[in-house]
Amino acid sequence: MPQLVNIEKIDIRKNPDTLMNSMFDPIFKSIVQNPDFKKLLSLIISHVTVFSPSYIYENLVFANTELPVENYKERKKITDIIIKVEGTIINIEANRSAEASMVAKNNLYHHKIAYDRYLSGVLVDNSEVLQLNFNVINRFDDRLFIEFSMKDETGRFTDEENFKRIHINMVKPLEKYYNGGKESLSKLEKILVMFQITSRKKLRDISKGDEELENMAKIIEDLNEDENIIGLYDKDKMDEWMRKIDHAEAIKKGHAEGLEQGLEQGLEQGSNEKALEIAKKMLDSDMNISDISKFTGLSESKVEKLKAENK
């Protein structure tokens, strides 16, 4: 089974045909928010909403950034991908693993977006709060899209039907591609494969003859010439290692359980008391402020203040 290429084994400086894997977070976010990718993004979103690709293209806005970006240098403070189409909110996540901590973080973030929306009084008929997960690990079965919503034990009745979590199985089209099925890939499947290809030759080959796919290939190749991206790619090896240490320490001290269970309950009750308690424990474990903010939903300024108070 094809696997995501290991970052540690890639040296793009030594091999001119080698590309960084586009599921690397900064590259993924730069591609998704690039104006030249908008039509392909609209195509993907149309598969999980009631909207047509053309309607999405005309109405899609990024809720967490003032303008779409063309390269990583322009990303600045962009941290997450949140898209709005009319009243529908879509949170996009790139998942390179199925670790419990990552799953918990994504799920809690999805709940937080829905909670903030209702708290602000933004209630739009038939609008949805979706989380769209691009998974390079097959967590379920061979379906390309798997949708989860809140149902009763019989599966006949749905509660909170506008709150949905959708997983894209990126393993399936990649297997199909490497097993000689390139010609039978749909356009959507080609997009998913292109996010995972690490060869310039193969990238150009799979995109050849389709202007929109060729635009995506160009975005990817341009990002691979960006010195800022290359520097972050090297740095990510150390950061990933440090994050694993942080998570292991948190699990030992019982913080992960508090994050997964206590924070969700706190958010549902409309209280940040549990989030503050968890943030304090994370600060005690020397986790960085940015990660604490993402995990707990507290602003970075609030975490900074909490850190100062605990000194």
Give 258-278 pLDDT, tens digit per residue: 555 555 554 444 446 767 877
Q: Cα(239)–Cα(232) distance, rounded to whole angstroms?
A: 10
Distance of alpha carbon 142 from its chain centroid, rounded?
Answer: 20
- Are the C-beta atoms of residues 56 and 85 closer than 8 Å to each other? yes
Task: Please report the sign of the dihedral spanned by the C-alpha atoms of residue 294, residue 297, residue 298, residue 299.
Answer: positive
> Model confidence over 25-54: pLDDT tens digits?
889 999 999 999 999 999 999 999 989 999
Residue ending a domain, choose from 167, 191, 226: 226
Q: How many domains does the chain have?
A: 2
Same domain, 221 and 265: no
Same domain, 266 and 213: no
Model pLDDT, residue 6: 40
Same domain, 197 and 295: no
Q: Which two tokens stand for residue 245?
A: 């240490």
> Model confidence over 60-93: pLDDT tens digits?
999 865 444 454 454 444 457 889 998 888 999 8
Model pLDDT, residue 129: 85
Same domain, 277 and 156: no
Specify if 165 maps to a domain: yes
Which amino acid is located at 103 in the chain? V
Specify if 1 maps to a domain: no
Q: Which whole number is the average pLDDT over 225-230?
A: 82
Q: Which whole number is the average pLDDT over 7-17?
A: 57
Model pLDDT, residue 140: 84
Specify if 236 maps to a domain: no
Specify if 101 maps to a domain: yes
Q: How many residues does the chain have?
A: 311
Model pLDDT, residue 60: 94
Same domain, 174 and 305: no
Same domain, 146 and 279: no
Same domain, 78 and 168: yes
pLDDT band at residue 246, thresholds of 50, 70 and 90? low
Residue 150, beta-bridge partner list: 159
* Phi and psi, residue 197, nearest 5°: -70, 140
Q: Cα(131)–Cα(310) distance, rounded to whole angstroms?
A: 35
Question: Which domain covers residue 293, as residue numbers?
Answer: 253-310
pLDDT over threshold 90, residue 173? yes
- Pick the residue with more confidence: 245 or 307? 307
Residue ending a domain, choose from 207, 226, 245: 226
Q: Cα(131)–Cα(147) distance, rounded to whole angstroms?
A: 10
Burial 229-248 (b: 16+ CB within 10 A, else e): bbebbeebeeeeeebeebbe
Q: Which whole number is the average pLDDT over 188-204?
A: 95
Same domain, 161 and 18: yes
Same domain, 94 and 200: yes
For tokens 């040296």, what's the residue? 11
Q: Which whole number is the average pLDDT over 237-245?
A: 56
Q: Cα(45)–Cα(84) distance, rounded to whole angstroms?
A: 11
Q: Cα(302)–Cα(290) distance, rounded to whole angstroms?
A: 11
pLDDT over threshold 50, residue 3? no
Q: Cα(206)–Cα(187) distance, rounded to whole angstroms?
A: 10
Specify if 145 maps to a domain: yes
Specify if 275 maps to a domain: yes
CB atoms within 10 A of CB 144: 16
Same domain, 200 and 265: no
Residue ending a domain, choose from 188, 207, 226: 226
Same domain, 62 and 180: yes
Model pLDDT, residue 241: 52
Of residues 172, 164, 190, 223, the one with CA closest to residue 22: 223
Q: Which whole number is the average pLDDT over 178-201?
A: 91
Number of helices and strands (H, E) in the chain?
14, 8
Which amino acid is located at 290 in the chain? S
CA atoms within 13 A on the CB side of 304: 4
Which amino acid is located at 44 in the chain? I
Mean pLDDT score of the chain: 76
Model pLDDT, residue 9: 41
Same domain, 269 and 121: no
Specify if 280 maps to a domain: yes
Specify if 6 maps to a domain: no
- Are the C-beta atoms of residues 167 and 133 closer than 8 Å to each other? yes
Q: Which whole number is the average pLDDT over 108-133?
A: 64
- Pick the residue with more confidence: 158 or 79? 158
